[in-house]
Chain A
Amino acid sequence: MTPKSSQPGFVDTMLETFQGDNAGVVPATGHTAWLTVFASGAMAFLAVFALALSLATGRVADRWADELARTATVRIAAPVGQVDAQTEAALNVLRTTPGISEALALTDEEQNALLTPWFGSELDLESLPVPRLIEIVESDPGYDRDGLRLRLAGEVPGAILDDHSRWRAPLVAAANRLRSLGLLVLVLIAATTAVIVTLAAGSALAANQQVISVLRLVGAHDSYIARAFVRRFTLRALAGSAMGTLAGCVAILLMPDPGEVAQNNFLTGLGFVASQWLWPLIIPLLAGAVAFAATRTAAFRALKELT
C-alpha cells in the first residue's frame, strides 16, 4: 500500500492522503478542530488584504513612476515679442544638457488643449501672455537640476524649470517598498499558518496517543496514521481559509468606490482589478498545501518519538 521503491512526489502523496478509508480512525477533537478552521480563516482574511495592498501599491507605483518620467517642464514667461526667441534659446540649453533625452516645446494647439478646461474654449491665446511650455524627457541617470537652473538663469532670463512632480519620487519608492512589504506579510501569514497548524496537529497527536497505540497494535504503518491526521488538518485549513478568503474578498468589494480621480491613491484604490481577482483563489490552495506539509512533518516527527 505504501510505495517503497519509488519516492512518491508531493502531489501523489497529497492525492493518496485523500483516498482510502482511514477517515474515521482518529476521533474528531472538538476544539482543536475549530481553532484550526478559525485560525486559517483569519489568516486567509488577512492574506486577502496583504495581497490587495501589494497589488494596489504595485499599480500606483507603476502609474506614478510613469508620470514621473514625463513631467518636468520649463516655462518661458517673457514679453510677447520675446517668447519665440527665448524658447529657442531654452531648447538649445536643454539639448546640450546631459541627462535630458528630449525637450519639446508644446504647440499652440497643445497648450490650448491644456488650458481649455480652465478658461473655456472661447479664450483667445494671442491676447494673453500665456507662458510657453517645454516638456522635458529625462534619461535614466537624470540631469543636474541645480546646474540646469543656473544655466537657464544665465542664458534665458524668462525660463523657469518646474519639476514639482519630483515630490512624488519618494512616494514611488514608498509604494514600491509597500508592495514588497505586502509580499513579506503574505509569507509571514503562510508561516504563521504553518506554526498554528503544527501546534494544533501536535496537540491532536498527543491527545490521541491511545488511538495511535491501538493502530500500531493492529499493524498500522506510520504513513497510515499520519494520513489520518494530515487529511483532517488539510481539510480544516482548506475550509477555514476558503471562508476567510471569501470574507476578505467581500470586504474589499464593499469598500467605498473611490471613483476615477482617487484611483491614484493606494488607500482608496485598495482592491483587485480585472484578472487580479483570480489571485485570492490561490490563498486557500496555499493554506491547504501549507497545512498538508506542516501536519505531515509534525505527524512523522511525533510518530518517530512515540515508540
Chain B
Amino acid sequence: MIELQNAAYNYGGGELLSEVSLKLAPGSFHFLTGPSGAGKSTLMKLCYMELTATAGQARVFGNDVRNMTRDDIAEARRRIGIVHQDCRFLDHLPLMQNIALPLSVSGKDVEAEKGNLRELLKWVGLDHQENALPQELSGGERQRAALARAVIMAPDVVLADEPTGNVDSEMSQRLLQLLIELNKMGKTILVATHDLALIRMAKSQVNIRVLRIANRRVQLAGADL
C-alpha cells in the first residue's frame, strides 16, 4: 500500500530522517513511536504525500510520489484516511459537514450519504453533536470526529498522527477500540504515538508491529516495550 525505500527527509537543517525503509502491507497494523521531535509527523507526511522525500523514494499504491501530479495526489488521498495531529477542521462548518467534507470534495452526493453519516457519528459517539462547530468540541470529541472524517470514504489505509494526543486514558482506549475495529474490517493502519501505554494496550488485543525512530532511522522495536 505505502512503501518508503531508503527515504530521507531534510527540512533544511540537516537530515531529520535517513535511510528509512518501511512497507505497510494490506491489512497490517503498525505503530510508529519515538520521542517528541523525532520525526513521527514528518514520516506520516511522507506517507500521505504532504512532503516529498529528499532522498530515496516513497511509493503510494504502487506509484512513485515524485511522479505524481497534484491531481494524482488528491485522488490517492481519497483512498487514505488521514487523522492529522491537530485534527484540522473547517471551523465555520458544523460537525456533520466537516465529516462529510471528503464526500463533497470528491463530488459525491452528500444527501444520499446522510444515513451513513449518522451511523458513523453514532459509531464515534458524536450523534448528538452533529450541528456543533468544531471549536465547541472537547479534545477527545475532536479526535473522534477526525477519525470519523478519515473513514467516511471507506479508505484502504488509515494514517493517524497522535490520535490520542490530548485526551484522557479512557478516551484513548475508546479511540483504540475504533482503530482495532477498522483493522478487523481489513484496513491498513499506521498510528504515530509517543504513548507507550496505548501500544501495550493494542498489543494485547491485535497483531501489531511497532516501529521506532531513533537516531534518524526507523527500526522495528523488539519486545522491550
Interface window among B15-23, B70-78, B183-191: B70-78
Q: Is A170 positioned at the interface, with any CB of B under 8 Å from its CB? A: no
Some 25 contacts from A to B, beta carbons below 8 A apart, are: A24-B97, A25-B90, A25-B93, A25-B101, A25-B104, A210-B88, A211-B90, A214-B88, A215-B101, A215-B105, A217-B48, A217-B77, A217-B88, A218-B105, A219-B77, A219-B78, A219-B102, A220-B74, A221-B70, A221-B71, A222-B70, A222-B74, A224-B105, A303-B70, A307-B70
Known: A25-B93, A214-B89. A219 touches B74 (CB 8 A): yes
**Closest Cβ–Cβ distance, residue B131 to chain A (whole Å):** 14
- Which secondary structure dominates where chain A touches chain B? loop
Bound-state CA distance A224–B93 (Å) is: 17
- Is B90 a contact of A213 with CB atoms below 8 Å? no
On chain A, the number of residues with a Cβ less than 8 Å from chain B's Cβ atoms is: 23
- Is B106 a contact of A1 with CB atoms below 8 Å? yes
Q: Is A27 positioned at the interface, with any CB of B under 8 Å from its CB? A: yes
Q: For residues 196 through 218 of chain A, which have their beta carbon under 8 Å from a beta carbon of chain B?
A: 210-211, 213-218
Q: Is A21 positioned at the interface, with any CB of B under 8 Å from its CB? A: yes
On chain B, the number of residues with a Cβ less than 8 Å from chain A's Cβ atoms is: 27
- Is A22 a contact of B104 with CB atoms below 8 Å? yes
Chain A residues packing against B (C-beta within 8 Å): 1-2, 20-22, 24-25, 27, 210-211, 213-222, 224, 303, 307
Q: B51's closest neighbor in chain A, by CB?
A: A307
Q: Is B30 positioned at the interface, with any CB of A under 8 Å from its CB? A: no
- Is A221 a contact of B92 with CB atoms below 8 Å? no
- Is B105 a contact of A219 with CB atoms below 8 Å? yes
Known: A24-B97, A27-B92, A222-B71. A217 touches B104 (CB 8 A): no
Q: Is B107 positioned at the interface, with any CB of A under 8 Å from its CB? A: yes
